[in-house]
Amino acid sequence: MDRIVNIHILTKRLIVMTLICVMVFGAIFGLSYFFSQRFMMTWAGFLCGIVGGFVSIQQRIKTVSDEELELLTKSWFQILLVPVFGGVFSLVLYCLFLSGIVSGTLFPAFYIPEPSNSIPDSGFMIDLFTKTYPLTGQDFAKFLFWSFVAGFSERFVPQIISNVVNKASEKDSEVDR
């Protein structure tokens, strides 16, 4: 009986926190769109990562131990931890997309402005944050999907990072030969 009560408490808290996060980050996204158009893609990816984290927690509720369930129902911090990590992982994934480290037909392609000088200046940085967008509507959808996945699957981005590090180490050792 206590387990069912704790699941209901946690579910209610997840719904409340998800709505609050969507409203707050949605408002920030809207403000950035209407005023400066800076960091729009960043906010969109971060929001999808957070929502993915909340959905991940909801999916796992039935399989967590009674102790973990009790901890989650007593601590707002514990409820927010996974979604915040999801948001951070979505930002890391966004950087991997922009750098071209992760690319292919399954992943989004972006328009990235070129620096006007040989040495990037503050004008380039402003352009980078205001004029970097997915190339097509499909690329935008792919970006939102992968940002959600980054939040939902807490091992997805760390595995990509590990794979990139391993490949870089292999190439580095080949050069040393």
- pLDDT at site 67: 85
Average pLDDT, rounded, for the chain: 86
Hey, what are 49's tokens?
Answer: 């990562």
CA 163 to chain centre: 18
pLDDT level of residue 109 (50, 70, 90 thresholds): very high
Across the range 92-112, mean pLDDT stands at 93
| Helices marked H in the chain | 2-31, 40-60, 66-74, 76-99, 122-130, 137-152, 156-176
* pTM for this predicted structure: 0.82
- pLDDT at site 78: 78
pLDDT in tens, 163-176: 989 888 887 676 66
- pLDDT at site 34: 75
Alpha-carbon gap, residue 59 to 53, rounded angstroms: 10
Distance (Å) of CA 41 to CA 19, 63, 152: 20, 34, 19
pLDDT in tens, 115-165: 877 787 888 887 887 788 899 999 999 999 999 999 999 899 999 999 989
Q: DSSP assignment of 111-163, as one string?
A: E-PPPSSSS--HHHHHHHHHS-EESSHHHHHHHHHHHHHHHH-TTHHHHHHHH
Alpha-carbon gap, residue 81 to 73, rounded angstroms: 13
pLDDT above 70 for 38 = no
